[in-house]
Amino acid sequence: MRKYRLMNFTDKTVLVTGGSRGIGRAIAQGFAARGARVAIVYRDNKAAADEALAGFDGEGHIAIAADVADADAVEQSVNSIVETFGKLDVLVNNAGIGIYHPLPESSYEAWQDAWQQTLQTNLIGPANLCFCAARKMMESGGGRIINISSRGAYRGEPIKPAYGASKAALNSLTQSLAIALAPHKIYVAAVAPGFVNTELSAKRLGGAEGAEIKAQSPFNRVAEPEEVAHAVFFLASEGAEFSSGTIIDVNGASYFR
Ligand code: NDP
């Protein structure tokens, strides 16, 4: 029987995009608490990134300001992380945006802008990160990639359709790369949360539809960021290799696909 170092990431190096706030911060913090050296990528809120870093256990963690929608910035970030840490073991594609653009009320210009921005940040950015990270992982003998998707990929997103489409495409990317990268010992999977208690969802949760959103789950609440992070740690852990290609739902039984 094999013995596993359950949920222990000592000597591992981890990149979490959007690791300065919300779900990404809980993921980065949890990896640090389990022994990993962590690099977080954020867009422009340096104060939040500095605050997050200061709260991580252990030493040697770094924060990089880069827009994941910028292909050159993505490449430079991955290169500088590998130069600093010597290798990259785990990539968590967590950074994402959700822009409201309900079809009946949006101008054609706003509609196009929402699609461009959302796909660039939620799909093309993660695809580029997968490319740059996987090339490094291939050189070092393997790794893990975990993409943060959404329940919206399955249930639909009527007021932000580009968001739902970007996450459905991210699921497909996850599955394609799980097959393509298996021979290189790179294991690729996704986590699809329902509503989570973060700034991204705060406005809706605090508004008129807050009670209805909570009632979607029989637990009558939304997830905490740490509950999403828990699934990420499983997928990154030794022993989860054969779960490559899976998409774990963390939606409090609010939607079954
Ligand atoms: P938050 O809005 O709370 O945090 C977003 C994080 O991503 C911040 O660190 C932000 O950096 C960073 N970020 C955003 N855009 C970019 C970019 N272009 N380049 C680099 N960094 C960027 O998000 P959540 O924690 O709520 O969401 C995290 C992920 O989980 C997303 O992919 C989201 O789609 C997904 N998700 C969230 C749900 C929810 O209910 N909250 C439900 C289902 C899925 P900065 O602060 O500098 O802007």
Domain around 102: 13-250
Indicate which residue's Cα is closest to atom 2 of ligand 1.
Answer: 200
**255, part of any domain:** no
**Model confidence pTM above 0.85:** yes
**What pLDDT does 8 receive?**
94
Q: Which residues line ligand 1 (CB under 6 A)?
A: 17-18, 20-24, 41-45, 48, 67-69, 94-97, 121, 148, 150, 193, 195-196, 198-201
**1, part of any domain:** no
- Residue 22 Cα, ligand 1 centroid: separation in angstroms? 7
Crossing angle of the two packed helices 161-181 and 125-140, in degrees rounded to 10: 20
Give the total number of structural domains in the chain. 1
Q: In this predicted model, what pLDDT tens digit does every residue of 65-105 receive, in sequence order?
A: 999 999 999 999 999 999 999 999 999 999 999 999 999 99
**244, part of any domain:** yes
Please indicate whether residue 42 is annotated as part of the active site: no
**What pLDDT does 200 receive?**
78
58: left (phi over 0), alpha (psi -120 to 50) or beta: left
**179, part of any domain:** yes
**7, part of any domain:** no
**257, part of any domain:** no
When computed from its CA atoms, the radius of gyration of the chain, rounded to whole angstroms, is 18
> What CATH number corresponds to the domain at position 125?
3.40.50.720
CA distance 185 to 138: 8
Contacts of residue 187, defined as CB under 8 A and 6 or more positions apart, other chains included, come to 142, 143, 144, 145, 178, 181, 235, 240, 241, 243, 244
CA distance 107 to 189: 36
Phi, psi of 7 (to 5 degrees): 50, 30
Exposed/middle/buried for residue 86 (C-beta within 10 Å: 0-12, 13-18, 19+) = exposed
Is the distance from CB of 192 to CB of 251 less than 8 angstroms? yes
Is the distance from CB of 141 to CB of 152 less than 8 angstroms? no
Closest by CA to 157, choosing from 127, 195, 107, 126, is: 195
**142, part of any domain:** yes
Q: How confident is the model at residue 1 (pLDDT cuts 50, 70, 90)?
A: low
Q: In this predicted model, what pLDDT tens digit does every residue of 19-47 receive, in sequence order?
A: 999 999 999 999 999 999 999 999 999 99
Which atom number of ligand 1 is nearest to the Cα of residue 67? 19
**6, part of any domain:** no
